[in-house]
Structure 1
Amino acid sequence: MKVLPLHLAASQKKTQSLKTLLDSGANPELCDQLGRNTLHLVIANWPSVSSNWIGPHSKFRSIMAIMQQQAEDCLHVLCEHGVNLNARLQSHRQQSALHLAVAHQAPSAIAILASRGASINATDHFGMTPLHMAAGTLQTEITSCLIQQGADVNRVVRQSGNSALHLAVQAATKKFCKTQDTDLSCVEELLVGGASPNVKNAAGCTPLHEACLGGREEVVDRLLQHGADLNKRTHLGENCLFLFLTQTSNLKSTGLLGKLLGLTSPLSVVDAKGNLPHVLKLPRYTTQKDQLVRLAQQPRDLLGICKVHMHQHYNESSRTFLKDRLPEKLYNFVFQQWDCPLDVELNETHETEEFVPLDFAPPLPY
């Protein structure tokens, strides 16, 4: 298929050529064979270099900075000529320019598009907004940029009902994530930006349910600090402890297991139909099953009741107040000490089946 001069100018970031062609009447809405118009091509060819793999004063970074400025200039030219900022890709995903900006890690493009009137909460064919895409890939800078531009942090994906926080937690609990700091920074950005830690998806799962299922104690702690309710149940009557116990590898996380046992109230290890997690039905976990069932049947002691009460009624800011006034040993006992009463086989390795957010699919290579 013949390449239009306007598309060539957009792809190569030739600002003056782009302006001249538009002034001469070239139509920026015409699409190429992949369904991309002139605006999409500018975004799809956006220069992006991770700060992790080049130095701050390198010649390469300087060159990339010049290229990025050229891309921004092209974007401004298109906006000044009245291009449709909400035009969708003519492909099965039907993404907007903002979706493409997320896929190509272009925060400055997001800021320009949003300031010029692009719909920050536009959805693609699957009902995902740009924020859903950014959160699902733990892009903290992009997530922050979208929130600053007014993205709805509690909007959910059409079919699954997952919020951006659900998707970020699902991604952060996967074993192949980059670093713990990266995982938590994106989750934290959403929470500080107003994301509800207690919103339920179509299955009745909150972000905390997802974190417990993935067995990442750091993510669980961060959600609890922001007011997540540990005792909410899914539509099948599963609490956080139940979901944690459905993954064999989670049994090695004795710290998180002890915390869930200490804070779940009333203590229960069955769903709405009285079923135990399938892992506990395996012969090798008979001992743990018997211990858990016995523990759930016993009344909680007074110290345990007090700890649950303290956690339910004192948020993070209140705990800072208490930490300055309570003896260190008492504070640590109430908020940081969780003993696991089970005999867990720490030396046996059982891989967890990977779970992938159904809403999220990696962006296509444009």
Structure 2
Amino acid sequence: MGNITKRGSRDLVADSTMLLEESLATAVHSKLYEAIIKEDCNTIKTLLRNHPVNQPLTILANSTSYRLLSQTQPIFPIHLAAEYRKPQSLLCLLQHGADPEVRDAQGLTTLHLMLLNWPISSSTWTKPSTRIQKILTDIQNNAVMCLRILCDHGAQVNARVDNSNKHSALHLAITYGTYPVLSFLAQNGAHVNAINESSMTPLHMAADILNKNMIETLIACGANVNCAISSTGNTALKLAVCTASSKAGRLLAAGVGCIRLLLHHGAQVNAQDHEGQTALHEACFGGREVIINLLLEFEANVNILTRNGESPIYMYLQRGSNIRDVTLLARLLYHTYPLRLSNKQGILPAGIMLPEFHLLRETLIKLSKKPLTLEAICKRNIRNVYGEKHKFHLKQLLPAKLWDSIYSVYDFTYLLK
């Protein structure tokens, strides 16, 4: 019995010692946590003697720290400083050996976490005047300072998130709308044409969401406007046209500026994806006139076929809502030759198969079987080669009557009514 009592006493002593150590560790964690939030660098330095700088902090639920403590994941001191945009604390931790590349449970480095928690500001003031404006300006300035400190201390700007997306810092900046940091990251060595797990570059992502500021910044930093996604063959132009031609794009009247910007910077208007579709195929299916006209202005070819033998006008005729715009249909017919109404399988577009378009279908079938004269074909080829963009330049080179005969609009609208 005496031996059992002695052994029990030793266990109690060991348990008490362990509880005491845990209590002391918790106290250190809480104090370090609060010191980082308050940017009390002297206290941080003192506490780091008892807590290794690259070990995570664990805070109990009843702690009085500033952080919401419902989460169960511990947090590294350097991550805490970065998330809360505490530049003095961040610098202090880095000077005492904090590793900016240490990753949290989601595979995020300190730089990644900074971008995920970047303050979103829609401010338009040049000088902050109200208290709120000053607070928002301070938050933004602190974020910029933290980013500079991280890059100055060797943060890897091309490190990828360790998850299924494999985003780089630039990809994250696009995803979370932090376009002001794009040029800074590029200046510090970020690969502007890096691809993620989906083979998308930052420019692909910016074009897909029609963010003109991001597109402009990325192009200025050297983004390749004609880079294609390996799995689909889509370019930034094709993605931008797809989004702008969607229902949401039409309702919001979005994307024209983005598409024009890409075209002005050399986007290949007739680039085909793996299915053989061009941006014009996508625009014609969407039926948004301003996008179709813009692509035609930049010499989009109306006669390119997909691998399945579908022309842009075939895509346009797929939807009944498009066909009701007789003027735009006539404009596409004006540029199209030969008129191919069916695909490789001999299937006609779904739109003209609707009962309400019976007469139009018969008219278009007759038109597709009616060959143009050699003169008309030559004139149409000239219009397609020079397009709307250069037709007035051509006017200076050709006799007036010849130019008038080339660009006289053959009115198809009467056939379509």
TM-score band w.r.t. shorter chain:
0.7 to 0.9
Q: 1:318 to 1:99 in 2, by over 3 A?
A: same
Shift, 1:168, TM fit: 0.1
Q: Distance in 1 between matches of 2:214 and 2:274?
A: 26
Shift of 1:340: 2.3
Distance 1:220 1:226 in 2: 10
Match of 1:27, SS state, is coil
SS at match of 2:247: coil
Asked if 1 retains the 8 angstrom alpha-carbon contact of 2:383 and 2:391, the reply is no
CA contact (8 A) 2:100 2:155 kept: yes
**Structure number with bigger Rg:** 2
The answer on whether the counterparts of 2:320 and 2:354 sit within 8 Å (CA) in structure 1 is no
1:205 equivalenced with 2:269 (yes/no): no
Measured on the aligned residues, the alpha-carbon RMSD in Å equals: 2.6
Offset of residue 313 of structure 1? 3.4
Match of 2:241 among 169, 175, 179: 169
Match of 1:23 among 92, 95, 114: 95
Asked if residue 334 in structure 1 is aligned to residue 414 in structure 2, the reply is no
- Which residue of the partner structure matches residue 89 of structure 1? 161
Tell me if the contact between 2:334 and 2:409 (Cα under 8 Å) persists in the aligned partners: no
Cα offset, 1:305, TM superposition: 4.3
Correspondent of 1:41 among 107, 110, 113: 113
- Counterpart of 2:87, as a letter, is T
Deviations 1:66-100 (A, max 9, x none): 32222222111111111111111122211111011
TM-score (norm 1): 0.85
Q: Report the CA distance between 1:169 and its aligned residue.
A: 0.2
> Structure 1's 50 and 245: CA in aligned 2 closer, same or farther, altered over 3 A?
farther
- Given residue 306 of structure 2, which amino acid in structure 1 is its aligned partner? T
2:298 alignment counterpart: 226
Quick check: 1:75 aligned with 2:147? yes
Shift of 1:320: 3.8
What is the distance in 1 between the residues matched to 2:405 and 2:145? Answer: 55
Residue 122, structure 1, aligned to residue 194, structure 2:
yes
Contact 1:48 1:64 survives alignment (8 Å): no
In proportion to residue count, which structure has more helix?
Answer: 2
Structure 1 unaligned residues grouped into runs of 5+: 345-366
From 358, 368, 385, the equivalent of 1:313 is 385
Equivalent residue runs for 1:116-155 within 5 Å? 116-155=188-227
| Structure 2 residue aligned with 1:102 | 174
Look up the match of 2:340.
Answer: 268
Moved more, 225-234 or 55-64: 55-64
Which secondary structure state, in structure 2, belongs to the residue aligned with residue 111 of structure 1?
helix
Identity rate of aligned residues, in percent? 37
1:303/1:152 Cα in 2 relative to 1: closer, same or farther (>3 Å)?
Answer: same
Give the aligned residue type for 1:340: T
Q: Is the 8 A contact 2:334 2:410 kept in 1?
A: no
* Structure 2 counterpart SS, 1:176: helix
Given candidates 226, 238, 258, the residue that maps to 1:186 is 258
1:126/1:24 CA distance change after superposition, 3 Å = same
Deviates more, 1:187-196 or 1:292-301: 292-301
* SS of equivalent to 1:291: helix
Question: TM-score normalised to the size of structure 2?
Answer: 0.75
Would you say 1:252 and 2:324 are equivalent positions? yes
Maintained 8 Å contact 2:225/2:262:
yes
Query: How many residues of Structure 1 are paired with residues of Structure 2 in the alignment?
Result: 340
User: What residue ranges of structure 2 are gaps of 5+ in the alignment?
Assistant: 1-72
Q: 1:286 aligns with which of 354, 358, 374?
A: 358
1:335 and 1:56 map into 2 onto residues whose CA distance is 52
